[in-house]
Chain A
Amino acid sequence: ETGVTQSPTHLIKTRGQQVTLRCSSQSGHNTVSWYQQALGQGPQFIFQYYREEENGRGNFPPRFSGLQFPNYSSELNVNALELDDSALYLCASSLVAQPGTQYFGPGTRLLVL
């Protein structure tokens, strides 16, 4: 059974740039969620995708957007990067029948300079 994978592992961008983070869900999982984890904090929910449509969103501005593909892989896009976007971005996959039991990837560490 393949776990959740994310790429890249680390990324450095400058303020105002755009970034795309990628996630491959665990086999058989049809729901993917994205979280932002600032240093020393718990993860904060960004949004969730189910059947390629956004299925709920946290308190994040529209410059945070996502996609889910038919093979259940996913992307998180962030436009107009700000210094406060520096964080660990976590992808988690789950089955729609067990939404609280989420399987997390190792994360992408984004640094915005």
Chain B
Amino acid sequence: GNSVTQMEGPVTLSEEAFLTINCTYTATGYPSLFWYVQYPGEGLQLLLKATKADDKGSNKGFEATYRKETTSFHLEKGSVQVSDSAVYFCALNPGGTSYGKLTFGQGTILTVHP
């Protein structure tokens, strides 16, 4: 079946530090990959996506590259801000008959201190 594994959290960083949150996946076929973010007290929001191998998704300074050879979609940001403190979820959208049924990782809590 499909699955997503994220690095164990929580992650605590100082402002302006470099961020990496690892994500690997297992899927049949050619899934699309996503990062969703959940700010305190809010619903999940799409952060970025990539629909095929070697695509790079980017938004708000965050980037992730779809690596089919390593089945990974690691999230990176060069300089984090306090406002980036949130829970980050990696997810995949399988193709075929499971189209649109997102599979999520367990989430990684990020806390950024001034």
State how many angstroms separate the Cβ of B2 from the closest Cβ of chain A. 10
- Chain B residues in 8 Å Cβ range of A87: none
- Chain A residues in 8 Å Cβ range of B43: 4, 90, 104-107
CA distance A100 to B44 in the complex (A): 13
Choose from B45, B89, B100 the contact partner of A56 (Cβ within 8 Å): B100
Q: Is B52 an interface residue (CB 8 A)?
A: no
The number of chain A residues with a CB under 8 A from chain B is 27
Contact between chains at B101 and A56 (CB < 8 Å): yes
Choose from A33, A41, A96, A99 the contact partner of B107 (Cβ within 8 Å): A41
Q: Is A31 an interface residue (CB 8 A)?
A: yes
Q: Is B98 an interface residue (CB 8 A)?
A: yes
State how many angstroms separate the Cβ of A50 from the closest Cβ of chain B. 8
Contact between chains at B104 and A44 (CB < 8 Å): yes
CA distance A43 to B43 in the complex (A): 11
Using CB atoms, name the residue of chain A closest to B46.
A101
Contact between chains at A100 and B105 (CB < 8 Å): no
Contact between chains at B107 and A106 (CB < 8 Å): no
Q: Which of B4-63 contact A (CB under 8 A)?
A: 4, 32, 34, 36, 41-46, 49, 51
B-binding residues in A (CB < 8 A): 4, 31, 33, 35, 40-45, 48, 55-56, 58, 90, 92, 94, 96, 99-107
7 closest cross-chain pairs (CB), A and B:
A99-B100, A42-B104, A100-B93, A104-B43, A104-B44, A106-B43, A100-B32
